Amino acid sequence: MSGIVGIFGRDGAPVDRPLLQSLAHSLSYRGPDACEVWAEGPVGFGHTLLRTTYESLAENQPASLDRQFWITADARIDCRAELETELKTEGRKVKPAAPDPELILHAYAAWGEACVQHLRGDFAFAIWDARRKTLFCARDHFGVKPFYYAALGDLFLFSNTLNCLRLHADVSDELNESAIADFLLFGLNYDEATTTFRDIRRLPPAHTLSASAGGILTERYWSPPTDGRIRYHRPDEYVEHFQSLLQSAVADRLRINRAGIWLSGGLDSSTIAATARELSVKPGAADLRAYTVVYESLIPDREGDYARTVAEFLGIPLRNFAMDGLQLFDRWDDPAFVPPEPMEDPFAAALFDHYGGVAADCRVVLSGAGGDELMYFQMWPYTRDLIRNRDWRRAYADVSQFLRVRKFPWRGIRSRIQRLFGLDPSAPAFPAWVAPELKQRLRLEERWNEQAGQARPWEHAIVPKAHASLLTPRWSVLFEVADPGLTHAAVEVRYPFLDLRLVDYFLAIPPFPWTFQKRLLREATAGHLPEAIRQRPKTPLEGDPLVAMLQRPDSAWLDRAHWTEQIERYVNPSGLPTLNRQQDTVCAGSAIRAHCLNFWLQSLSTVRYNSYAEASNG
């Protein structure tokens, strides 16, 4: 997770080099290995380097190709061999083991802005095209790497760190009330093109941006496919193909001498761990270690036991991070622990502790996130597709087998029937504590119904919910809370299940039987994981940590917390429910957002001051 920053005067005004150096130095915690700047006329780049691949040992940024193209990038490119073959076909001379930013430059030289159609991996980069006088920027398909920018008249600023852009004197502290309203209603900003700050925008995942004297243009370059169809004659072929793809995905993310794994004890992260362990026995492979987050007393939790079972079976050292000693809003009055944007997590201080602990061991950690979404099982869309294609034999065989192996969902049947008639007592209600003026001005009840109450049109005929889950803005939140821009820890999180080869595969295979109860993973890990883990059903936490914490007497202070004047623009504090002793999970989860926003607003000016001090001392 190297740091990137850039300035472009679209009117031709020269770059303020000392300012650029100051902005780059503010990112030194992201990249402790090197800090360099480059400026030429109206454009300048800064870069702080974190070496996280073997190829990055020879990496220096900002980098150029024939002094026609310049790049600053936070990038890891997958499928390198295939890309190098394509580049050689285009006549590009790529040196062996070229750093990933160099491959991106060659791709841009070969295909221009269409280069993103040939890139796989996690990336956020900007390229200055000296011939066209154009700045070209791109963010990877799922938005694993953040990319923020501010367009202030003819001044264009960008970085992969939001607080870096706030250092510039021309960037206003004025807030984006639509983003704050979304946070209060849903816990996140549903507009992926904006941030909590009026002047700072977010380049959405799978988008490119071109900036020149003529203007600024953003464009989507990819969406999850809807037309893939893989049908094999033998069941073993599905398993073998998956194993091959997963090994490639994990191998591309283990190009380093030491790596960690977030190991929950569930099937997804355990499958990643087993694959990584199999690859680690090869010469020159990564040394592995595992980490898991546990509750020892706050709520019933056996995840640590399951994670230990996997780690011992695979021979990987395991470290537990216990959550029980953390208090609500622990250290939220310390500017060092304030997130760049509001978070609906009153235990957010744990992120700094956990990633700081990982950073002491390694610079890369793998995550099993994405498995649940890709294997979101639906039988009836698949059945409709079989009938539509007149595949009667397969329809009869699969539906019959499904009805035999599926247990009837007696539990929760009452609520399902109620939902059929538009009655769902467990559904959250519009928060009564939202400020009436904000509610009226932004028509928030319409926004609420649009996002929470209306079904969206499905784009995929066979696995509509799995496909739709890949387009939710919650991915950006997931990635950005694990990013050094928030944690200040030089650790890069990588997500093998979101490898495009695996995404394409899961969206193309028959959901039954392969994603039903994750059968594909269970068969692929036979002999590679303990049977207790391989056959373990998906199990949520047995309790809600927030509700459990609210039962404690020492949480009573939250209901007496000081409310900043600014909060009244967004929240009516007198309308909030009492949280101490609150046992309603939905009520507590909704109301806690108002408190999260309150503490964040109180710290806002302090963060700005300390950011300026950090940059000026850089």
Q: Give the bridge partners for 219, in sequence order.
A: 208
Q: What does the radius of gyration of the chain's CA atoms come to, in whole angstroms?
A: 25
Query: How many domains, the chain?
Result: 3
Domain boundary among 474, 500, 534: 534
Can you give the pLDDT at residue 613? 46
Q: Are residues 66 and 202 in the same domain?
A: yes
Q: Are residues 44 and 185 in the same domain?
A: yes
Cα 593–chain centre separation: 20
Q: Are residues 278 and 133 in the same domain?
A: no
Q: Are residues 197 and 332 in the same domain?
A: no
Q: Are residues 530 and 559 in the same domain?
A: no
Model pTM score: 0.94
Q: Are residues 353 and 330 in the same domain?
A: yes
Best CA proximity match to 166, nearest among 561, 559, 485, 521: 485
Domain boundary among 220, 247, 270: 220
Can you give the pLDDT at residue 188? 95
Can you give the pLDDT at residue 428? 80
State the DSSP H helix or E strand holding residue 216, giving kind and residue range, or none if neither. strand 215-220
Can you give the pLDDT at residue 610? 47
Domain boundary among 220, 249, 264: 220
Question: Is residue 524 one of the residues assigned to a domain?
Answer: yes
Question: Is residue 240 one of the residues assigned to a domain?
Answer: yes
Residues of the chain with pLDDT under 70: 408-427, 452-456, 605-618
Q: Is the dihedral of CA 486, 491, 493, 494 positive or negative?
A: positive
CATH code: domain of residue 488: 3.40.50.620
Question: Is residue 104 one of the residues assigned to a domain?
Answer: yes
Q: Are residues 514 and 612 in the same domain?
A: no
Question: Is residue 395 one of the residues assigned to a domain?
Answer: no
- Dihedral angle over CA of 240, 245, 246, 247, nearest 10: 90
Q: Are residues 153 and 246 in the same domain?
A: no
Q: Are residues 69 and 210 in the same domain?
A: yes
Q: Are 321 and 291 in contact (CB under 8 A)?
A: yes
Q: What is the pLDDT of residues 465-518, one digit of tens each?
A: 999 999 999 999 999 999 999 999 999 999 999 999 999 999 999 999 999 999
CATH code: domain of residue 183: 3.60.20.10
Best CA proximity match to 290, nearest among 259, 251, 323: 259
Residues of the domain holding 370: 235-375+465-534
Can you give the pLDDT at residue 608? 56
Q: Are residues 63 and 179 in the same domain?
A: yes
State the amino acid at position 220 in one-letter form. R
Q: Are residues 308 and 212 in the same domain?
A: no
Residue 253 has phi, psi (to 5 degrees) of: -100, 5
